[in-house]
Amino acid sequence: MSLPQHMDALVLNGVRDFAIETVPVPVPDTDEVICKVDTTFICGTDPHIVAGDFPNFWPTRFPFIPGHEWSGTVVQTGPRAASLGWREGDRVCGISHCGCGYCEMCLKGRYNICLNYGHEERGHRQYGHYTPGAYAQYMRTSVKSIFKIPDAMSLEYAACVDPLSIALYTVKRSRMQPGDDILIIGTGPQGLMAVLCAKALGAARIYAAGSGERLAKAQELGAIPIDYKEGDVVTTVRELTGGRGVPAVLECAGTAQSLTQACLAAAKGGVVSVIGIPHSDPSIPIKRMVLDEVELVGNRANPNTAQPTIELLINNRIDLSPLMTHRYALTDFRTALDTYENRKDGAIKVATKPNGMN
């Protein structure tokens, strides 16, 4: 397919210095494809990247095109990508990580912690973080980072596979079994998706700690609400569980206080599965964790859970529509970001449309 030479993209030129600019359309390497982007959702990490909260890491340089929760249609293939069965017209969703494929971690299937992280010359990529991303009309991506979606699934819906598969991974890493209780601290988009995943995987009671409209949304999705502004989360959890705590805890708030609470709310032998990244060091109750054998597990992105996530969506085990609240043209990114950051009009998942509103 003949593509234009230039495209519109959101270009980050410095800390909170961004604009829609005209840039060259990328050319695929041998195992890459070019996709026409349909939808790119704002991830909770994106405002931090825009704000410069990860200097010289995400991104490593400017100018930079962010964005990694996306979907689109393949419009051009590299030679090896074509030989592997990828075709123009394939409808796909993307994830951010692309492991080198050769290191010890990649060979174990743990490409999210690839030993060659940050070395693009060795084949590693992290799209929208330090490798150019999807806030653009066209996206260049390795075939290792995309998944085909069925015709019955809308491209906008599919753009949520990345964050939903992270939530699924976080639930799985807690080792929650069907019939177990689970506590989810944080009712932002990631926490709400974790509620949906825990429900789909057979949790008995799902406790959600948060506040305001998002806590109400968690209750609407089936969680038992715990308002952290009205009482101590750990005390409340202990009261609700007969003093035992819960065997599985998910930390999705990303604060030092919430991580401490997660460790204290776990039952003996429990697992605390963490996806939030606090900006200050938490106080970890080590004595309690050693004597009660409470495990603390970190999670990075979504290795090998994107396809199971697609299956859960296809089979109607999870309904994301209550979380998909706002849509904007990419040219209105400043308004979209403000809506997301300030939670305007009940904003949860805010979509941008690089090729215009459908």
CA distances from 190 to 195, 275, 354 (A): 9, 9, 23
pLDDT in tens, 85-112: 999 999 999 999 999 999 999 999 999 9
Reduced to 3 states, what is the DSSP secondary structure of residue 146? Answer: strand
pTM, full prediction: 0.97
For residue 176, pLDDT over 90 is answered with yes
More confident residue, 228 or 279: 228
Count of all residues that appear for the chain in the document: 358
CA atoms within 13 A on the CB side of 335: 10
**Contacting residues for 212 by C-beta, under 8 A, at least 6 apart:** none
For residue 169, pLDDT over 90 is answered with yes
Residues 39 and 76 grouped into a single domain: yes
Residue 304 near residue 168, CB atoms below 8 Å? no
Q: How would you class 118 by CB atoms within 10 Å of its CB: exposed for 0-12, middle for 13-18, buried for 19 or more?
A: middle
Reduced to 3 states, what is the DSSP secondary structure of residue 121? Answer: helix
Question: What is the DSSP code (8-state) at residue 157?
Answer: H
Please list the residues that pair with 273 across neighbouring strands.
250, 297
For residue 133, pLDDT over 90 is answered with yes
Determine the structural domain holding residue 244 and report its residue range: 164-298
Complete DSSP assignment for 17-72: EEEEEEEEPP---TTEEEEEEEEEEPPTHHHHHHTTSSTTTSSSSSSB----EEEE
Please list the residues that pair with 23 across neighbouring strands.
7
For residue 145, pLDDT over 80 is answered with yes
The domain tally of the chain equals 2
Q: Is residue 121 part of a domain?
A: yes
Task: Give the pLDDT score at 93.
Answer: 98
Q: Distance between CA atoms of 275 and 174, rounded to whole angstroms?
A: 11
CATH number of the domain encompassing residue 171: 3.40.50.720
pLDDT band at 283 (very low <50, low <70, confident <90, very high): very high
Task: Give the pLDDT score at 5.
Answer: 97
Complete DSSP assignment for 206-245: EEEEE-HHHHHHHHHTTPEEEETTTS-HHHHHHHHTTT--
Question: Mean pLDDT over residues 349-355, rounded?
Answer: 98
Q: Distance between CA atoms of 51 and 248, rounded to whole angstroms?
A: 33
Helices (H), the chain: 45-50, 79-83, 104-107, 155-158, 161-173, 189-200, 212-220, 233-240, 256-265, 286-291, 306-314, 333-341
Token pair belonging to 193:
């998706």
Residues 236 and 324 grouped into a single domain: no
Token pair belonging to 199:
């429900």
Residues 151 and 55 grouped into a single domain: yes
pLDDT in tens, 325-335: 999 999 999 99
Q: Is residue 183 part of a domain?
A: yes
For residue 1, pLDDT over 80 is answered with no
Residues 242 and 115 grouped into a single domain: no
Residues 131 and 172 grouped into a single domain: no
Question: Mean pLDDT over residues 235-244, rounded?
Answer: 98
Task: Give the pLDDT score at 26.
Answer: 98
Question: What is the DSSP code (8-state) at residue 321?
Answer: G
Residues 120 and 62 grouped into a single domain: yes
Q: Is residue 198 part of a domain?
A: yes
Q: Is residue 200 part of a domain?
A: yes
Residues 148 and 70 grouped into a single domain: yes
Residues 146 and 223 grouped into a single domain: no
The overall average pLDDT reported for the chain is: 97
Residues 10 and 146 grouped into a single domain: yes
Question: Mean pLDDT over residues 237-256, rounded?
Answer: 98
Give the number of other CB atoms < 10 A from CB of residue 103. Answer: 19
pLDDT in tens, 300-337: 999 999 999 999 999 999 999 999 999 999 999 999 99
Residues 196 and 146 grouped into a single domain: no
pLDDT in tens, 134-144: 999 999 999 99
Sign of CA dihedral 209, 213, 218, 223: positive
Q: For a pLDDT cut of 90, what percent of the chain falls above it?
A: 97
Question: Mean pLDDT over residues 275-293, rounded?
Answer: 94
Q: Is residue 346 part of a domain?
A: yes
Task: Give the pLDDT score at 279.
Answer: 84
pLDDT in tens, 199-234: 999 999 999 999 999 999 999 999 999 999 999 999
Please list the residues that pair with 143 across neighbouring strands.
none
Task: Give the pLDDT score at 85.
Answer: 97
Residues 181 and 229 grouped into a single domain: yes
Q: Is residue 327 part of a domain?
A: yes
Task: Give the pLDDT score at 2.
Answer: 87
Q: Is residue 126 part of a domain?
A: yes
Q: How wide is the angle at C-alpha 120 spanned by C-alphas 114 and 122, nearest 5°? A: 65
Q: Is residue 128 part of a domain?
A: yes
CATH number of the domain encompassing residue 39: 3.90.180.10
Residues 175 and 241 grouped into a single domain: yes
Residue 275 near residue 250, CB atoms below 8 Å? yes
